Structure 1
Amino acid sequence: MEFSWLETRWARPFYLAFVFCLALGLLQAIKLYLRRQRLLRDLRPFPTPPTHWFFGHQKFIQDDNMEKLEEIIEKYPRAFPLWIGPFQAFFYICDPDYAKTVLNRTDPKSQYVQKFLSPLIGKGLVALDGPKWFQHRRLLTPAFHFNILKAYIEVMTHSVKTMLDKWEKVCSTRDTTVEVYKHINLMSLDIIMKCTFSKETNCQTNSTHDPYEKAIFEVSRIVFQRLYSFLHHSDIIFKLSPQGHRFQKLNQVLYQYTDTIIQDRKKSLQTGVKQDNTQKRKYQDFLDIVLSAKDENGSSFSDTDVHSEVSTFLLAGHDSVAASISWVLYCLAQNPEHQERCREEVRGILGDGSSITWEHLSQMPYTTMCIKECLRLYPPAPNISRLLDKPITFPDGRSLPAGITLFINIWALHHNPYFWEDPEVFNPLRFSRENSEKIHPYAFIPFSAGSRNCIGQHFAIIECKVAVALTLLRFELASDHSRPPQLVRRVVLKSNNGVHIGRGKGNR
């Protein structure tokens, strides 16, 4: 049967389009197949845990099964690949010598991770690489000079006491338990806003900041799930998904919060009116330095750079520190003998705790050891990512080519039984002066290591010491066995059901 001229005319473009799409699909399939074969070849020297041919290790990763992770570390103590679907694999490192080899290089951050985080924090210090990273690091380092950090002690003390006063009201009976993380998170937000942005928020008593806190928690969950869902690696698929729509709304909340901070300061500078507690300051805060920073050519940070750096430090400066303090208090509640020893040390230095100074912080060796042991057990940032820009050879002779995405799993480093005796046991004496010399320098890296270590780590430790010392003077912490934490690996290590701590019988 012959087709009419009209039918032939209209059918031909559709036929050609179909053939074109089919050819594109076939080329993409070939490209993915070759990618899988290349990854299988490159990763062959490194045994991997049992994997599903299509889903890879996706179920294990998304289940947040920390016990299973510990089993894998024991079986693969150096490194192992984890497959995210059939065409993507990440290389996980849990050996200090391997970590040292990577962190002493200048490989860029993994674009897989930064691609998902950039809508949240932009291209700030955490995400940058190369000369621009070096420039930002150099310009921002003065914000964390010891002379500036000393001035923060009074602010931190006031914010911590505000939180402890709230706990006094909550704990009206001895049997009361408190979900401490939400309180500590607000307290840490209060501190970061006052110290680095010189902005009074009253966020510990003002519920209007709840949307920001909730947005941070949920966005972190979405970013983690997207990272380990190979279908959502596609921007188009992710944006069309319910999670993608939710992410956009939450990101808008965070963007507006950060933008308000920046615009308020700019207005105050333009009008010459000092805001909040800036009249009392004798130092430049973080926001001052970001807005006034100039490179050797006299160029200032762009508006995008300013927003990225403020977003980065607002998130990292309060969320990770809040998690750290929560885990320290949880560990001390679980280990009353160490808690009491810390309390006696703090009481001997501070008395009733009416004042705490910079000099006091260096006089707490046992409390410092307990904090370090908590950071070993519960590192605030569980992973560091890198993308190999050139081949790498590890100390045992095995190699990887350029283009492989690496994750230095800090949790695995800190729990590796080949480098830590009884790694699940809380033992602060690991960090005594004589024992700490035996620790591999890359076996304990809660704030990363090498040139890209955390710029705010001293700020975090100081805040942690102030919070722990003042808390122990006011409360005896008890464990709540009925609600153990449910660990979730996000951008920051958290508990899905919060961190519940009871009030002991000996509270004053």
Structure 2
Amino acid sequence: MILLIALLLTVGVVLMTYLVRPLLTTLRWRKEGKIKMKGIGLEPHWLLGSLHLVQVTEESFNFMESLLPLYPKIGQLWMGPFVWYLTLTHPHVLKPILATAEPKDELGYGFLRPWIGDGLLVSKGKKWHRNRHLLTRAFHFDILRGYTEIFNSCATTMLDKWVTMPQSAPVEMFKHVSLMTLDNMLLCTMSCTTNCQTDSKENRYIKAVFDLGEIVMNRMFNPLIHNDFVFYLTPMGRRFKGHCEYVHAFDEKIIQERKVLIKSSLESLTNDSKMHGEDSGNVELYKKATGKNLDFLDILLLTKDEDGKGLSDREIRDEVDTFLFEGHDTTASGISWAFYCLATYPDYQEKCREEVRRILGDKEFISWFVWLSSLQWFPTFVS
């Protein structure tokens, strides 16, 4: 009898800890959220929240755009009955939010973590500050200047494709722009040539990156697969896991090959096979040894902190995956929206065209010049 009572008490504690308390907390959050957001944005459905109105479709984005005149600064988006988000659409409202140091949302970012690991996008605290400091060198003007030729080449490849298309047929620009930005990022981060913009055969790595991003977005809008255990039982979850394993193996192979190249290059320059510590992390020495423009991976492998410690192989892989995702997807969205706005407002399109003509003159490509002011160096794009 005593054992039975103890067992029942144990089961009760477990249920209270893992089921009842989280449910009560979630219900309280829902109540508080509905009170705070009353009159701001659409009222949520009792079960679906906003999901019956908003999904990852063009129609949903058009619907959300139609709400802007009604709620020009702030709105709400409920992902099912319990999880809700603020939608900020005005810079005056967005500014104080961006200035805070609140912890990152684990629901959205947590879906990315199996893919991009604990890189700058999802990391926090001391790790974020240390790695952010170590990566600063990768964004120095001397490094970025070397990417200009890559930008020009990838953009030209995309434009050459457009020239061959029927002029009267509509073009889904986002796919083309996404391939162009991913092409840029693979070359700038890992000097990896895939010909993804022109190769008619679908590259497995490219397919994996695109599919991973799509799966993450679809999962966010489907509360039924928010739970990891449930998600990985589904075909989508198994596909996500397989893509992650392939992408990680691809990255790790390139990282190990680059480590060997860096080591041999530095040793050949110094005739010292026992280089270690800060000498082996000398960025300028490696640049001198190879005569190449350093890419993002070179910087990750060579950079050291004040204690002479660099990033681990896992941290390097996480940052590579993070910047590939952030660098191609968000940039493609921004460029596509810019094209949409230019097409919507022909007067501004013509102003932009005139500015480009004025800057370029008779030149075909944009190059990067850095000029010295009285106080510091500034980047500027000139012909």
> Residues 216, 67 of structure 1: CA spacing in aligned structure 2 closer, same or farther, 3 A cutoff?
same
Residues in 2 aligned to 1:34 and 1:280: alpha-carbon distance in whole angstroms: 62
How far has the Cα of 1:33 moved from its partner? Answer: 4.2
Which residue of the partner structure matches residue 152 of structure 1? 147
TM-score normalised over the length of structure 1: 0.60
Residue identity opposite 1:262 in structure 2: I
The structure 2 residue matched to 1:101, chosen from 91, 96, 99, is 96
Which residue of the partner structure matches residue 301 of structure 1? 311
1:45 aligns with 2:36: yes
The structure 2 residue matched to 1:36, chosen from 10, 26, 31, is 26
TM-score normalised over the length of structure 2: 0.77
> Residues 231, 20 of structure 1: CA spacing in aligned structure 2 closer, same or farther, 3 A cutoff?
farther
How far has the Cα of 1:312 moved from its partner? Answer: 0.8
How far has the Cα of 1:17 moved from its partner? Answer: 8.1
More displaced, 152-161 or 64-73? 64-73
- 1:327-476 matches, cutoff 5 A: 327-359=337-369
* Deviation digits for residues 411-440 of structure 1 (CA, Å, limit 9, x no counterpart): xxxxxxxxxxxxxxxxxxxxxxxxxxxxxx
SS in 1 for 2:232: helix
Which residue of the partner structure matches residue 230 of structure 2? 237
Residue identity opposite 1:298 in structure 2: G
The structure 2 residue matched to 1:255, chosen from 224, 227, 248, is 248
Count of matched residue positions in the alignment of Structure 1 and Structure 2: 350
* Deviation digits for residues 386-431 of structure 1 (CA, Å, limit 9, x no counterpart): xxxxxxxxxxxxxxxxxxxxxxxxxxxxxxxxxxxxxxxxxxxxxx
The structure 2 residue matched to 1:57, chosen from 50, 57, 72, is 50
More displaced, 198-207 or 106-115? 198-207
Residue identity opposite 1:199 in structure 2: C
> Residues 248, 296 of structure 1: CA spacing in aligned structure 2 closer, same or farther, 3 A cutoff?
same
How far has the Cα of 1:108 moved from its partner? Answer: 1.8
Q: Is the 8 A contact 1:53 1:86 kept in 2?
A: yes
Q: Is the 8 A contact 2:111 2:216 kept in 1?
A: yes
More displaced, 173-182 or 230-239? 173-182
Which residue of the partner structure matches residue 292 of structure 1? 302
Residue identity opposite 1:309 in structure 2: E
Q: Is the 8 A contact 2:56 2:217 kept in 1?
A: no
The structure 2 residue matched to 1:166, chosen from 161, 168, 187, is 161
Residues in 2 aligned to 1:262 and 1:205: alpha-carbon distance in whole angstroms: 26
Residue identity opposite 1:45 in structure 2: K
1:197 aligns with 2:176: no
Residues in 2 aligned to 1:200 and 1:71: alpha-carbon distance in whole angstroms: 42
Residues in 2 aligned to 1:70 and 1:175: alpha-carbon distance in whole angstroms: 27
> Residues 80, 36 of structure 1: CA spacing in aligned structure 2 closer, same or farther, 3 A cutoff?
farther
Q: Is the 8 A contact 1:33 1:87 kept in 2?
A: no
How far has the Cα of 1:310 moved from its partner? Answer: 0.6
1:86 aligns with 2:95: no
SS in 2 for 1:202: coil
SS in 2 for 1:56: coil
Residue identity opposite 2:335 in structure 1: I
Gaps of 5+ in 1: 1-11, 361-457, 470-508
Q: Is the 8 A contact 1:109 1:127 kept in 2?
A: yes
Q: Is the 8 A contact 1:226 1:233 kept in 2?
A: yes
* Aligned-residue identity in percent: 37
Which residue of the partner structure matches residue 184 of structure 1? 177
How far has the Cα of 1:248 moved from its partner? Answer: 1.2
> Residues 32, 117 of structure 1: CA spacing in aligned structure 2 closer, same or farther, 3 A cutoff?
same
> Residues 337, 87 of structure 1: CA spacing in aligned structure 2 closer, same or farther, 3 A cutoff?
closer
